[in-house]
Amino acid sequence: MPRPVTLVSGQWADLPFDALCSKVASFGYDGIEIAGWGDHMDMRAAAHDPQYVAGRKAILQRYGLKAWALSAHLAGQCVGDPWDPRLDNFAPPAVKGKPEAIVAWATEEMKDTARAAANMGCKVVTCFMGSPVWRYWYSFPQTPESMIDQAYEEIVRRWSPIFDEFDACGVRFALEVHPTEIAFDYWTAKRLLEAFGGRKTLGFNFDPSHLLWQGIDPALFIRDFSDRIYHVHMKDVHVRRDGRSGILGSHLPFGDLRRGWDFVSLGHGDVDFDAIIRELNAAGYSGPLSVEWEDAGMDRDFGAREALEYARRIDFPPSDRAFDAAMER
């Protein structure tokens, strides 16, 4: 049976939830990965108000859509980051500009997100975790190993009580390996799993677009972490090597053609999705392929439709027999 194809709602948070569901259904998607910003999902309400949950489920049902995962990237970032004035963009008015209050709010928000997911019938939450040490990724001034150790210890300290709530709710946490996170590439992801002692609560929301431009083979990431692929984002990236543009972005905004890499609609970039589907098949992944549509150079509605067509076309089932079995006597 083909995997369901869903659309991440976060990049469509300017639309009311009902209007988004109508649009997504008209495109032909199977469901939505519902983000906790805009008016798409109030995590606190979904955690504690059965009528709110019933209302959200009714909207999905009206348009023939399902939800397999909730997205809480913004609150998750606030849990693990040190003070950064940009976090005020993610925090409610009452805690803006108050570092300790932001962390306390985000911690409770993530616990409520686990409860909300359980109430919505979702088994996975996709998320960021933040990082106390991302800003020191380049070791000048020199970054002592003790600072890195302390950062992982701090992440474990902040997130363990949240994961306890996830376990109580029967929900898995899928970290999107991403720049600015405690796990932003292959080896930092491995180190994070080790820091949590292999705790099964924690896995990955696999997104190839953040790995490829760093020089990491996304297919090998799936192979080596096959038992921790809890959710999949379908997102493409185009890498340019024109002699001028580097991979660090040059402080150029997304969509600027001078950038060394940029997110593009599915099939317009350099990600080898054929290899990814083969690895997902080998790993036994049967969850949704969730289109996180980002392309600053393309109309959003056109891109979402085209991305759905691409995702359905590229998703092939594994073989149930050896191709040369018919030659056996």
Q: What is the DSSP string of 231-248?
A: EEEE-EEEE--SSS--TT
Cβ neighbour number for residue 261 with a 10 Å cutoff: 22
**Hey, what amino acid is at 328?**
E
Query: Does residue 295 surpass a pLDDT of 80?
Result: yes
Q: How many domains does the chain have?
A: 1
List the domain range (segments joined by +) for residue 62.
Answer: 5-327
What confidence score (pLDDT) does residue 329 get?
A: 60
Q: Which two tokens stand for residue 119?
A: 């109430």
CA angle 76, 80, 81 (to 5 degrees): 105
Between CA 199 and CA 160 the distance in angstroms is 10
Tell me 66's DSSP state: B
Tell me 181's DSSP state: S
Cα dist from 314 to 136, 266, 286, 291, 310, whole Å: 39, 10, 14, 13, 6
Cα dist from 20 to 42, 71, 87, 138, whole Å: 16, 16, 26, 41
- Mean pLDDT of all residues in 239-254: 94
Lowest mean pLDDT among 57-61, 101-105, 308-312, 325-329: 325-329
| 266: CATH | 3.20.20.150
- Mean pLDDT of all residues in 24-52: 98
Between CA 11 and CA 233 the distance in angstroms is 13
Asked if residue 287 lies in contact with residue 232, where contact means CB atoms within 8 angstroms, the answer is yes
Cα dist from 325 to 199, 316, 317, whole Å: 41, 20, 18
Tens of pLDDT, residues 7-37: 999 999 999 999 999 999 999 999 999 999 9
Query: How many CA atoms does the CB half-sphere of 10 hold within 13 Å?
Result: 20
Tens of pLDDT, residues 193-209: 999 999 999 999 999 99
Q: Which residues contact 85 (CB under 8 A, 6 or more apart)?
A: 97
The SS3 assignment for 228 reads helix
What confidence score (pLDDT) does residue 285 get?
A: 98
Alpha helix locations (H) across the chain? 17-27, 43-48, 50-62, 73-80, 99-120, 145-169, 186-195, 209-212, 218-224, 273-283, 300-314
Query: Does residue 153 surpass a pLDDT of 60?
Result: yes
Cβ neighbour number for residue 51 with a 10 Å cutoff: 8
Query: Does residue 162 surpass a pLDDT of 70?
Result: yes
Cα dist from 309 to 5, 151, 236, 264, 325, whole Å: 10, 42, 14, 15, 32
What confidence score (pLDDT) does residue 322 get?
A: 59
Q: Which two tokens stand for residue 20?
A: 């988004």
- Mean pLDDT of all residues in 211-220: 98
**Hey, what amino acid is at 142?**
Q
Query: Does residue 326 surpass a pLDDT of 60?
Result: no
- Mean pLDDT of all residues in 206-229: 98
Between CA 273 and CA 270 the distance in angstroms is 9
